[in-house]
Structure 1
Amino acid sequence: MTLSVLDWAVLLAYLLAVLLIGVYFARRNTSTEEYFVGGRRFKGWVIGLSLVGTSISSITFLAYPADAFKTAWLRYLPNLALPVALVLAAFVFLPFFRRGNMTSAYEFLELRFGPSVRVYGALAFIIAQLVRLAMILWLLSLLVQQLLPVSPTVAIVAAGLFVGVYTVIGGIDAVIWTDVLQTVVLLMGGILCVWVVVDALPGGLTQVFQEAGAAGKFALAEWQDGQPRPVNWGFSLSEKTATMMLLIGLTNWLTEYSSNQNTVQRYCASRSTREARRGLWVYLFTALPTWAFYMLLGTALWVFFQHHQDQMAQAVLAGEARAETIMPWFITRYLPSGIAGLVVAAALAAAMSSLDSSINSVSTVSVVDLYRRHLRPGASDQHYLRVAKSIASGVTVAMILGALWLNGASTSTLQDTSTILVSLLGGGMLGLYLLGFFSHQGNARAAWCGILATLVFTGWTVLGSNGLLPTALSAPFDLYYTGLIGNLIMLLVGYGAARLWQSARRTAPAS
């Protein structure tokens, strides 16, 4: 892609603004309270927009339009479970984390189950986030390479160092405020893309809705042979039904808002419980329309390319090219000067907002849950602040090295690695927190029974999916449901073990 002078000016202005935010807040970071939770003074609208920036990654910018362009709106279906999850988060999960000036999501696990379970939760989060960081940076580098004439190594190192610098020096203040900026830029980029498409069509937006609607492109349906096919709404563990997709969506959102440090840290950074709740409502009424808008962008691109013949668009629709290439292709070929630069900035913002949050969260959990709690208790706050910045720097290096490794690995290796680690490390966390939130039953011993049962279950499904077990011993259900079943196992085994021990104590003879 050859950017014009105006495009470069817009892109560099955005990058400079992000860097200056980090430099500005570096002066405030004189304590861990500031570095981790920003002095607990953020208003709800800021928290809400930062949550949007954190949750909206390159998937929103690339995958949503790609899916709507090639198929229909089925990918949007799991998002419809978000309102239910946020109501539970606002009135059940949030109050637990607002008590006692918590900083980490895993402090709750110690209060409820003991220090060993807290360590498990913290380590599982850290390892999973390191994998996630490497993957997002690698995906960001692919996007950068499609938009700019740079090598994979340069794209990975430059993007990683840039995000790392403003995150390390600026702390959570820089993370939250750059996420707000990145959310705004992402929305502007999408709006401009739709405007360019609509302006090029004689019938404008009405034409998009008429032609796409007639073709079934807005349907919550599977797409086969160029036609929408209604999905099954029944319950099934052997196929992906609409009802099961909603349950998967609910499970994922509940996990995000009950046990993910990226989210819980924003609960803790709010100036009050009321402002934290307000942030959740801002997130709900911003994120759902944003995801829908990017789906609409993909649908509009389909109508656009019905009237502007293009070999790449035809290749995507025919399955000869990856659907995720359609957005970069449209940006490079059809956007006017100036707008292209802003949309490239939006593409970068989509990934950067996820990277900076994870770097800061890993640093926070490492210090609060492990280093200060177990490895070096009783040191000065300035010592912990220096350690936090050092860990954030180390995470940045690990992220870059991981992305470089992924760049040399095969696609199947990438998919297998992510599936295995996420399944093993993330399995059961929602079930563990639900056991803590909704029941007084169980201690560390009961929790570990649930954890071990879930690890055995997920290990079994992973081995079977990779052909390492005989067919007869492989999972008899769609692996799409591994997380849902794993959380149920964690909840039921943990609760059952607690009741059994309680019953045993009641019936034990007095000594």
Structure 2
Amino acid sequence: MTNLPILDIAIIIAYLIAMVLVGVYFSGRNTSADEFTRAAGRIPGWAVGISIYATFLSSNTFLGVPGKAFGGNWNAFVFSLSMPLAAWFATKYFVPFYRSTGEVSAYTNLEKRFGPWARTYVVVCFLSTQLARIGSVFFGISLTLQALTGYSMVTIMVVTGICIIVYTVMGGIEAVIWTEVVQGLLKTLGAVIIIYLVVNQVMGGFDGILTIGAAANKFSLGTIEFDFVRSSFWVVLLYGFFINLNNFGMDQNYIQRYHAATSTREANKSVWLCVWIYVPVSLLFFSIGACLYAYYMQNPELLRTIKLQAASEQLGLAINKPEVAQLATMMKPSDYADKVMPHFMVHMIPTGLLGLIVSAILSAAMSTISSGMNASATVFTEDIYKRYVNTRSTEKNNLKILYIATVIVGLIGMLCGIAMIGVKSLLDVWWTLSGIFAGGMLGLFLLGLMSKNTTNKDALTASLIGVLIILWMSFSYLIPDQYNYLRYPLHANMIIVVGTLSIFLTGNLTQKLRRNLTI
């Protein structure tokens, strides 16, 4: 970190060492798989709630959301507004269901309901989703630290990845939860500091920000017309509801925390605590994007530097080349939005505070990655290893497999992050990938939970049809132009909505047809 002052380096190193020491502290308690995966159910609800909030508030939020607001408007904030409805559904149906089953894996019950194929399908979808999420978070953190340190993004991913793997493997879910409590507080403090510093740099303060932002339509939540082709208010609301329903109801990251809580009531409280913290804090990050937009509009010479840097990276040429300058003049704010926050941090945040902000961004990445690693290792052990490889595995061997799986997931996640280098919008990549993988999971689970008369054959038929629809929606853009009428016509964020409903409705339809034919 040669570009950073010694004080900032010391703060960052101290933070990383502290996180590893947390893992060391809790390592002595991991004497069984139950301790590693759910801390024997002894975590208070408030800690679980902050932990879930910290998982939501990843580096994708810390960097992607201000970038999204800078390059566009507050349309994506509608995602956060959908959370209370999803939380109500989750606390009424999902949390009591999981607590009553006693199964640490969210997907074991699907085999009891529909057979081994259902469990395996959802496990594959979950692991694919987690690797995409972990990869996007690795990419986000390396993007910022590259601007601060000058080191390559690959080097940054490897170094941070090793630290995360060490404390996650050593401490298990208890270390993950308690480090996330600290990380949740740190990243919130970091956001408050950033917005304070930006507002102080804008001429006219809040009034200037509101004037510039309103003139550029930065505070719009999107059109309220029932338009499902563009990213309208309704598209993001529906997408947010189904994704958050998937998070609270099907994502092992959260299900595991329900089991770690001391009771069902505490688990429910943790969900609502997460929502009531996350919604206003996410608004804070959108506000940072609007504030940064006002600041750089008032400082066009700094904005030109950012555009030149983005153009240089896109073309792979030196920043002083004429081709770079030509491309920079044609760039829209959305083309360089993810580089705005790192630039402000490098040039405008004072020594000492910069180390704290970098630690906050590191914590945003670490909480999401460590949570995903622990959850993925649990799913692999419970739903793959113990189910298909070693059905008589001992407790000692289960713990060993959990350790190995955690390391492997972390390493593969790093490789996914490296593969994402060069993408244009971090938040768009994550939203697209999560929508593709989550649609089938949620549709099948809702079918099993809410349609009591649906049989194995009904569910299998619905899933096959649903997967075909999801694949068509995701990849029909590859169809040649002369057959463009065969392309999926709606916005990409509608994939999870249509995919979930296609499985759920098809399953109900086939079981009704089957019953009518047998009568």
AA matched with 1:502: R
Return the match for 2:492 from 472, 475, 479. Answer: 479
Q: Measured at CA, do residues 208 and 16 of structure 1 come closer, stay the same or move farther in structure 2, by a change above 3 Å?
A: farther
Other-structure match for 1:247:
238
Compared CA separation, residues 492 and 403, structure 1 to 2 (3 A): same
Number of residue pairs the alignment of both structures matches: 494
SS at match of 1:322: helix
Scaled by the length of structure 2, what TM-score is found?
0.88
**CA separation of 1:359/1:496 partners in 2, compared to 1, >3 Å: closer, same or farther?**
same
Deviations 1:24-83 (A, max 9, x none): 111110011110011111111111111111111122111222233344322212211111
* Among 396, 413, 421, the residue aligned to 1:399: 413
In 1, the alpha carbon distance for the partners of 2:143 and 2:209 equals 32
Query: Residue 221 of structure 1: CA displacement?
Result: 4.4
Q: What is the identity, as a one-letter code, of the residue corresponding to 2:378?
A: T
1:412 CA drift (Å):
8.5
Amino acid at match of 1:383: N
Partner of 1:297 in structure 2? 288
Q: Aligned pair 1:380/2:381, yes or no? A: no
- Structure 1 position 211 matched with structure 2 position 211: yes
Is the 1:112–1:436 Cα contact (8 Å) retained in structure 2?
yes
Question: What does 1:255-266 align with in structure 2 at a 5 Å threshold?
Answer: 255-266=246-257
Q: Unpaired segments of 5 or more residues in structure 1? A: 223-230
Query: 1:97·1:108 contact (CA, 8 Å) conserved in 2?
Result: no
In structure 2, the residue matched to 1:458 is: 470
How does 1:125-204 map onto structure 2 within 5 Å? 125-200=126-201, 204=205
What residue in structure 2 maps to residue 435 of structure 1? 447
Moved more, 448-457 or 111-120: 111-120
Tell me if the contact between 1:52 and 1:183 (Cα under 8 Å) persists in the aligned partners: yes
Separation in 1, partners of 2:139, 2:213: 36
Cα offset for 1:276?
A: 0.5
Change (3 A) 1:313 1:344: farther
- Deviation sequence 1:263-317 (CA, Å, 0-9, x none): 1111111110110111011101110111011112222233434555542278669
**Residues 140, 426 of structure 2: 8 Å contact kept:** no
92 and 191 in structure 1: CA distance in 2 versus 1, 3 angstrom threshold: same
Cα 1:208–1:284, aligned 2, differ >3 Å: closer, same or farther?
farther
SS in 2 for 1:254: helix
Q: What is the Cα-based RMSD across aligned positions, in Å?
A: 2.7
Contact conserved, 1:182 with 1:349, CA < 8 A, in 2?
Answer: yes
CA contact (8 A) 1:47 1:276 kept: yes
Name the SS of the counterpart of 1:331 in structure 2. Answer: helix
Q: How do 1:92-107 and structure 2 match up within 5 A? A: 92-107=93-108
Check 1:131–1:328 CA distance in 2 against 1; reply closer, same or farther (3 A cut).
same
Moved more, 120-129 or 334-343: 120-129
Using the size of structure 1 for normalisation, the TM-score is 0.89
Contact 1:49/1:179 (CA < 8 Å) preserved in 2?
Answer: yes
Q: How does 1:55-74 map to 2 (within 5 A)?
A: 55-74=56-75
1:121 aligns with 2:122: yes
CA distance in structure 2 between the partners assigned to 1:404 and 1:305 by the alignment: 30
Work out the CA distance in 1 between the residues paired with 2:455 and 2:416. 37
Partners of 1:463 and 1:89 lie apart in 2 by 31
Q: Give the match for residue 310 of structure 2.
A: none
Q: Which deviates further from its counterpart, 235-244 or 71-80?
A: 235-244
Task: Give CA-to-partner distance per residue, 1:219-250, whole Å, 9 cap, x none.
Answer: 3245xxxxxxxx2x232333332223211211
Q: Which amino acid aligns with 2:285?
A: Y
1:208 deviates by 5.2
In the other structure, the counterpart of 2:326 is none
Given that residues 58 and 365 in structure 2 are in contact (C-alpha distance below 8 angstroms), is that contact kept between their aligned partners in structure 1?
A: yes
Cα 1:499–1:210 change in 2 (3 A) is: closer
Is 2:229–2:490's contact at 8 Å kept on the other side of the alignment? yes
The answer to whether the aligner puts 1:362 opposite 2:376 as a matched pair is yes
Q: Which one-letter code corresponds to 2:503 in the other structure?
A: M
Which secondary structure state, in structure 2, belongs to the residue aligned with residue 42 of structure 1? coil
Mapped partners of 1:287, 1:414: distance in 2? 20
Quote the Cα distance in structure 2 between the aligned partners of 1:196 and 1:421. Answer: 34
The structural deviation recorded for 1:427 is 2.6
Separation (CA, whole Å) in 2 of partners of 1:487 and 1:310:
47
Asked if 2 retains the 8 angstrom alpha-carbon contact of 1:104 and 1:261, the reply is yes
Conserved? CA contact 1:96–1:108, under 8 Å: no
Q: What letter is aligned with 2:337?
A: A
1:491 is aligned with what amino acid? F
3-state SS of 1:427 partner: helix
Percent identity of the aligned residues?
A: 31
Contact in 2 for aligned 1:136/1:355 (Cα 8 Å):
yes
> 1:180 & 1:416 partners in 2: Cα distance?
27
1:139 Cα deviation after fit: 2.9
Aligned AA for 1:173? E
- Whichever residue aligns with residue 479 of structure 1, its letter is A
What SS does the corresponding residue of 2:82 show, helix, strand or coil? helix
2:407 corresponds to 1:390: no
Cα distance in 2 for residues equivalent to 1:185 and 1:235: 39
Q: Which amino acid aligns with 2:477?
A: S
Post-superposition shift, 1:331?
A: 0.7
Mapped partners of 1:44, 1:59: distance in 2: 25
How far 1:406 sits from its partner (Å)? 4.0
Matching residue's letter, 1:487:
T
Letter in 2 for 1:484: V
Aligned to 2:51: 50
Alignment of 1:266-345 (within 5 A): 266-308=257-299, 310-312=301-303, 319=332, 322-345=336-359
- TM-aligned CA deviation for residue 14 of structure 1: 1.2
Aligned residues of 1:58 and 1:140 also touching (Cα < 8 A): yes
How far 1:361 sits from its partner (Å)? 0.7
